[in-house]
Amino acid sequence: MNILDHNKINFLALENAISKPHAYQKSTVPFWDDPYISTQMLNFHLDPEVEAASKKAETILAETAFIEETVKLDKTKAVIDLGCGPGLYVNEFAKKAGSVLGIDLSQNSLDYASKTILPQHKNVSFIKMNYLDLQEESRFDLATLIYYDFGALNLQEQAKLLDNVHRVLKKDGIFVLDVLTDQARQVESIDVKFHQKGFWSPEPYMEIHRKLIYKDPLIRADQYTIMDEAGHVRIIRNYDRLFTMSEITNLIIEHGFRITGLYRNLQGDPWNTSSTTMGLFAQKI
Ligand SMILES: C[S@@+](CC[C@H](N)C(=O)[O-])C[C@H]1O[C@@H](n2cnc3c(N)ncnc32)[C@H](O)[C@@H]1O
């Protein structure tokens, strides 16, 4: 998309590019696998002090310890980590599990994961694929989808993901995920910044960041409209469905699971109604 028309700014096009999209309207670029953006993302993943693309290193260790203890992970068990990124969770699960498969859309993250993890853990493999296209059946004892990625999916995708996970799990297999709750609402705002180079591009660009909120269902979103000096525009949109306890548990149950654990997070802290996050364990029936 370009908002220059015969060397003039097309204000109507610009207004459209920053307008509030309908909930779950897609980004105009596949940013997870964009070579430059995914390199920036990888830097965030790997910063142990920053809670951005991945959680902090100490949080990951506490979460993997709690998950491993809860599902009694051992060398008889096969794990699949959906949206594994650079494999920070895979690396921990590999020490206890029989096998671990990490899947992700980002080639950059998978290259890093393969380079750092495969030499140390012979029981690990990585595949570049969309978890919405997962086809296998009854192969895994544990499936994980961590860092609120479930809520980034639209309603049809959430249903598809749950069906896929149900199919790939063995009988009594466990699905572990975390979501944001209705207590994580945000106030709508708009913010404009100019960068010589930055997260979205190595070239100068303008970033118009809108924080958005939708009701029924409750969703919060971040929309970044990125315009370069030539007027070329990319729009990146991230969504977070904010679930009540009954909404998320009913949805999971409708797809053939029983809820076996519900916490404030995946470290096992007790959940209460003011929690902004929720960690869930669901068993395939
Ligand atoms: C917020 S990051 C979390 C990464 C990892 N779970 C962690 O916590 O370190 C989300 C990851 O999901 C991947 N991803 C997003 N949509 C995906 C999809 N449809 N299929 C597979 N991977 C996806 C992204 O490339 C990214 O690595």
Which residues surround ligand 1 with Cβ inside 6 Å?
Answer: 32, 45, 53-54, 83-85, 88, 103-106, 109, 130-132, 146-147, 149
Q: Give pLDDT tens digits for 42-72.
A: 888 888 888 888 899 999 999 999 999 999 9
Ligand 1 centre to CA of 85 (Å) is 5
Nearest in space to 217 (alpha carbons), one of 21, 19, 23: 23
Q: Whose CA is nearest to atom 19 of ligand 1?
A: 130
Residue nearest to ligand 1 atom 26, measured at CA:
85
How many angstroms separate the CA atoms of 204 and 225, rounded?
14
Q: Ligand 1 centre from 5 Cα, in Å?
A: 37
Pocket test for ligand 1, best of 24, 26, 29, 32 (most atoms within 8 A of CB): 32
Q: Are 209 and 222 in contact (CB under 8 A)?
A: yes
Is residue 262 within 8 Å of 271, Cβ to Cβ?
yes
Residue 127 tokens read as 């595949």
With 0-12 CB in 10 A as exposed, 13-18 as middle and 19+ as buried, what is 188? exposed
Nearest CA to ligand 1 atom 14: 83
Q: In the chain, which stretches have pLDDT less than 50?
A: none
Position 49 scores a pLDDT of 85
27 CA distance to ligand 1 middle (Å) = 15
Q: Provide the 10 A C-beta neighbour count for residue 200.
A: 20
For CA atoms 258, 129, 63, 24, give the dihedral sign: negative
Which parts of the chain fold into alpha helices (H)?
Answer: 11-18, 35-46, 57-70, 88-96, 107-117, 155-168, 245-254
Q: From ligand 1's centre to the CA of 126, what distance in Å?
A: 13
Give 235 Cα–ligand 1 centroid separation in angstroms.
Answer: 19
CA dihedral 271, 274, 278, 281 (to 10 degrees): 30
Closest protein CA for atom 13 of ligand 1: 83
Domain range 38-182+243-284, CATH class: alpha beta
Using alpha carbons, select from 112, 48, 50 the residue that is nearest to residue 85.
112
Domain residue ranges of the chain, discontinuous segments joined by +: 38-182+243-284
Phi, psi of 124 (to 5 degrees): -115, 145
Distances in whole angstroms, Cα of residue 159 to Cα of each of 13, 113, 115, 162, 253: 34, 28, 34, 5, 11
